[in-house]
Structure 1
Amino acid sequence: MPAAAFEKGPFYVRPFPATSAAIRVTAPARLHLGFLDLNGDLGRRYGSIGLSIDRPSTELTVAKADQHSASGHESQRAVALVRKFAGERPGDGYAINISEAIPAHAGLGSGTQLALAIGAAVAAIEGRSLSAADIASLGERGARSGIGVEAFTSGGFIIDGGKGTTDRPPPVTLRSDFPPDWRVMLILDPRNAGVSGEAELTAFAGLPPFPETSAAHICHLVLMKLMPGLKEEDIGAFGSALTEIQEIVGAHFATKQGGSAWTSKAVGHLASRMRELGATGIGQSSWGPTGFAFVESQKAAERLYHSLNEDAKRVGLEILIAHGRNSGARIETLRNPKRMEH
């Protein structure tokens, strides 16, 4: 039975009374498909384009315990996060078990989803009414992009309005279901990691000025080609617009990626081969190294997978076939466990 949910308009954890029940949360990965405006002359900067996907995902269970602890994937990160949400109270903590985790520093939004999952679980257990934006702010996530928060809340294809004058997550300006037949080819490179943390802040600060004409062109592509293609399920229009957006943004970020639009050259090469074999919407998610490409059906995805999987494995890459996810995180209550002791 669901323990908590997000309601539209704003989104809030709908809590039940404070309880000792364990809470299980499954949170989706997201792709960052590009920025609308890195120029910022209108007073808002960035403006992210994103998509929630069904795999990989983060799944964790949170229960009351004598002290804060975590096991499984990303355990150190999890303990630091639960301290932000629950503080330090002698003899009163939370035990977190992370059975699955979105790969860290891969451009898939792992940090935001982990923070939101832990924060939502603590809020549900304690009976606190918090919006997803509240949780993101407490967890120090979402200051630049709102797509991770919206992916957790309701999934789908997402565009946010960019960072304004506050530290709250940017407002979502568009959210649409993703065509159920389309598939996303993910190209993972476990050997490489995208820029994150202080290095990411430094990299953004060192980027050259972004031309206003380029920002205007990206917005034109989004409004008159990308979104109509999505709404009419015209993958050709959607994909060609996305590829062009990625080329513009990738060229801008190349100065911080060794002169390339790709963090992993191997990923870039495989993505180009997917394009030659009929895929569209080619690019890199955030700082990478994860690459992506879109195809019109499961059959097309499987054909592409079988054509390239052996080549991918030879250079240490992994190909996954993902669906767009048109729903948010799943939050469930488990049977009342015994209080965990250490």
Structure 2
Amino acid sequence: MQLLGQRQGKEFRFVSLSSASSATIRVRAPARLHLGFLDLNGAIGRRFGSIGLAVDHPETELTLKRSARHEAHGFESARALALVKKFAGDTKGAGYSVDVQKAIPAHAGLGSGTQLALSIGAAIARMEGRTLTPDDLAQLGERGARSGIGLAAFASGGFIVDGGKGADDRPPPLTVRCDFPDAWRVMLIFERDSAGVSGEAETTAFADLPEFPQSSAAHICHLVLMKLIPGLKETDLAAFGSALTEIQEIVGGYFASKQGGSVWTSPAVGRLAHRMRDLGARGIGQSSWGPTGFAFVDSPDAAQRLYDSLVEEAKGDGLSILVAQGRNTGASIEAS
């Protein structure tokens, strides 16, 4: 079976033509942290603009094979099957079997839906010898509406800033991409029984919010260009962390009315992040709508000390801690 890409209006769909040899495609795609928005005002013509980072864990890992019919197994099987059907359409007696061995936690602020959609689309494309651009995959998975960092994390990893949405339907352009320092570690804080805003609730939340002050957007852009990125480039965690914490406070304060009156979706996550800062971590905040929180340290040893100091306290509050690294490569796609 060979699949070709065909656009039907604005939708990109694969079309089945014939049979081909069997193979297994394995895709591993990184989670991403959404660290804040540049401009929620949009007065100069573009809105949003996202700051992000690809991390090595958690991740999406799946395999795709040919099958007599479309089927899905493992984590997020219902969502995975729906994506296979959307991508491949009616294949008339031949299909794909996808097995999701690892999944990024859903509704945790880590971009799980985007990475699953891109992983399945890329796997089908690789199976059929096609190369799809991130824009093709974005249209296929209907991703990148506000943020381009999920697409960029899948394509190239690293620290990412996108240029926001203009007046048309194109995904936000990638404006900055640089490697994240190898030695730095990210302390991720998870809460099992909490979920961030998503779907229709997210759309409604954005529509209900007041106008974002243009002066705040200007200040965030100033922080990003003159403190956050230089701190990253010069491996100055104090500068990077100071800028990031301030950005999180501004953006989180704007969304507080939709998060129970706090900059944190989960008060417990917020308390633990502040404990991490008290013990030397920098750059605390939550990813997207949360509840996942983060803090940064400058070495593996510092990460281990912080983990050992707080892991039992975290468990007592129903939280868990994961030590992650920045991932400076995008998704891996292998055939066997």
Shift of 1:317: 0.5
1:30-62: per-residue Cα shift (whole Å, max 9, x none)?
000000000001111100000000000010001
Per-residue deviation, 1:90: 2.1
Aligned to 2:180: 178
Mapped to 2, the partners of 1:142 and 1:84 lie a distance apart of 17
**Residues 1:18 and 1:247: Cα distance change in structure 2 (over 3 Å):** farther
Q: Which residue of 2 aligns with 1:31?
A: 33
Greater strand fraction, Structure 1 or Structure 2: 2
Q: Give 1:18 deviation, angstroms.
A: 6.0
- Alignment match, 2:262: 260
Deviations 1:230-262 (A, max 9, x none): 000000000000000000000000011110111
Provide the C-alpha distance between the structure 2 equivalents of 1:92 and 1:164, rounded to a whole number of angstroms: 40
Task: Please say if residues 55 and 323 of structure 1, whose CA atoms lie closer than 8 Å, have aligned partners that are also in contact.
Answer: yes
Pairwise CA distance, 1:20: 2.3
Residue range with higher mean Cα deviation, 125-134 or 135-144: 125-134
Q: Corresponding residue for 1:188?
A: 190
What's 1:310 paired with? 312
1:242 aligns with 2:244: yes
Equivalent position SS for 1:43: coil
**With structure 1 as the length reference, what TM-score do the two structures score?**
0.91
Give the letter aligned to residue 257 of structure 1. Answer: Q
Q: CA deviation at 1:169?
A: 1.7
Match for residue 4 of structure 1? none
Q: CA deviation at 1:93?
A: 1.1
CA shift for structure 1 position 137: 1.2
User: What fraction of aligned residue pairs are identical, expressed as a percent?
Assistant: 71
Partner of 2:326: 324
Q: How does 1:12-27 map to 2 (within 5 A)?
A: 19-27=21-29
> In structure 2, how many angstroms separate the alpha carbons of the residues matched to 1:222 and 1:102?
27
| Matched letter for residue 230 of structure 1 | L
Q: Please give the alpha-carbon distance, in whole angstroms, between the structure 1 residues aligned to 2:141 and 2:54.
A: 20
Matched length:
318
Q: 1:293 aligns with which of 267, 292, 295?
A: 295
Q: CA deviation at 1:198?
A: 0.9
CA distance in 1: counterparts of 2:191 and 2:135, whole angstroms = 31
Report Cα offsets for 1:113-160 as digits up to 9, x if no partner: 000000000011122221022112111111111100110111000000
Task: Give the structure 1 partner of residue 272 of structure 2.
Answer: 270
User: Structure 2: how far apart are the matches of 1:153 and 1:128?
Assistant: 16
Q: Structure 1: how far apart are the matches of 2:312 and 2:201?
A: 34
Find the partner of 1:197 among 196, 199, 215: 199
2:81 paired residue among 79, 104, 118: 79
What SS does structure 1 have at the residue aligned with 2:66? Answer: strand
Residue among 212, 216, 222 paired with 1:210: 212
**Is structure 2 residue 160 aligned with structure 1 residue 158?**
yes
**Alpha-carbon distance in structure 2 between the residues aligned to 1:127 and 1:34:** 37
For 1:35 and 1:58, locate their aligned partners in 2 and report how far apart those are by CA, in whole Å. Answer: 25
Report the AA paired with residue 145 of structure 2: A
Aligned to 2:115: 113
Match of 2:57 in 1: 55
1:167 matched residue in structure 2 = 169
Q: State the AA in 2 paired with 1:165.
A: A
Give 1:3's aligned residue: none
Structure 1: gaps spanning 5 or more residues: 1-16, 335-342
Q: Counterpart amino acid of 2:236?
A: D
C-alpha contact 1:160 1:174 (8 A) present in aligned 2: yes
Tell me what 2:9 maps to. Answer: none
Does the residue aligned with 2:296 lie in a helix, a strand or coil? strand
Contact 1:18 1:125 (C-alpha < 8 Å) held by counterparts: no
Shift of 1:190: 1.4
Offset at residue 164 of structure 1 (A): 1.1
Q: Take 2:294 and 2:277, find their aligned partners in 1: how far apart are those partners?
A: 10
In structure 2, runs of 5+ residues without a counterpart are: 1-18
CA contact (8 A) 1:53 1:322 kept: yes
Question: Residue 125 of structure 1 aligns to which amino acid in structure 2?
Answer: M
Tell me the amino acid that sits aligned with residue 271 of structure 2: H
Flag as ranges the 4+ runs of structure 1 deviating above 3 A: none
2: CA distance between counterparts of 1:281 and 1:93? 46
Corresponding residue number in structure 2 for 1:5: none
Q: Deviations over 1:165-223 (max 9, x none)?
A: 22232100000000000000000111101111111111111111100000000000001
TM-score, length basis structure 2: 0.93
